Amino acid sequence: MLQMSDHKLKITEISGDLFAAPKEYSLGHCVSADLRMGKGIAVKFRDTFGQIQTLRNQNAKAGGMAVLKDGERYIYYMVTKTAVYDKPTYQNMFSSLTTMRDHMKLNNVSKLAIPKIGCGLDGLNWSKVMDQLHECIRGVKVGYPLKLNIVHKETVTAEFNPDFITRIIPRLDWPTVCAGAEKVGCTADIPATLSENYASDNEFLQKLHHVLMEIEVIEGNLECPETGRVFPITEGIPNMLLNEDEV
């Protein structure tokens, strides 16, 4: 299991039924890009969660990931090989893990249960996969999002660069973005959770660009709800993305 503790992600190995994990845990496993899921634990995922066509419509390739929403949690399908008869590579495994990690960060997922991925029928070495897991989450922290208090703000004009906005999205703390958007009066423009197709949604990218790049807080402060520390805004900041560790 992977979960947030002391604002850091950590890995804990336990023995048990993966599908008996508490509902606050998202689940994940490995599949091929053809989504055959005819053997091993993949059969249980297929029979339990279905929606195969929804997964196929995401057109995930080897090294990528498909995902389903199950209530308040996510079900991750890490694509580590192209066809069901192929064998996964460690390169594709790490790429899939990284993609899943980025989705978890964007959607505030702090608990995940997975089997010994890639190490059953696929034949990867668990110790090597564990090394990749640790490398993947190294340095990932769930910080306290700062509360933004605005005294005065202005709207400026900044050139819209959709490629730049798309590239920075995986690095954003999304709940903090949403809180900042609410403070500047743009709640309707920023969804609580990201669409899987955000990169092709030009209207969404333009709205996010406006919140991040065109609203300048001239006077106010950033307050950490947990520690009570306050950071004055004296010269203006271009966005609402700062976490306490970055101030």
- What residues are annotated to the active site? 81, 122
What band does 14 get if pLDDT is binned at 50, 70 and 90? confident
pLDDT(11) > 70: yes
Q: Where are the domains of the chain?
A: 2-137, 147-246
Instruction: Output the pLDDT for position 142.
Output: 52
Instruction: Output the pLDDT for position 247.
Output: 38
Q: Highest mean pLDDT range out of 68-82, 144-158, 207-221?
A: 68-82
Local structure of 11: helix, strand or coil: strand
What band does 243 get if pLDDT is binned at 50, 70 and 90? very low
pLDDT(246) > 60: no
Span 133-174, pLDDT tens digits: 888 776 555 554 567 778 888 888 888 998 899 888 877 777
Span 227-239, pLDDT tens digits: 677 777 766 543 3
Q: Crossing angle of helices 126-137/90-106, nearest 10°? A: 40
> Could you tell me the fold of the domain covering 2-137?
Leucine Aminopeptidase, subunit E; domain 1 (3.40.220)
**Phi, psi of 117, rounded to the nearest 5 degrees:** -60, 135
pTM over 0.85: no
Q: Which two tokens stand for residue 123?
A: 């034949």
More confident residue, 120 or 19: 19
Instruction: Output the pLDDT for position 109.
Output: 80
pLDDT(35) > 80: yes
More confident residue, 68 or 140: 68
Instruction: Output the pLDDT for position 224.
Output: 67
pLDDT(7) > 60: no
Average pLDDT across the chain, whole number = 79
Span 76-123, pLDDT tens digits: 998 988 888 888 888 888 888 888 887 887 777 878 888 888 887 778
Give the chain's radius of gyration (CA, Å). Answer: 20
Give the C-alpha distances (Å, rounded to integers) separating 210 from 65, 136, 166: 29, 31, 14
Please state which CATH number belongs to domain 147-246. Answer: 2.20.25.10
pLDDT(226) > 80: no
pLDDT(8) > 60: no
Q: CA 234 to CA 42: how far, in whole Å?
A: 55
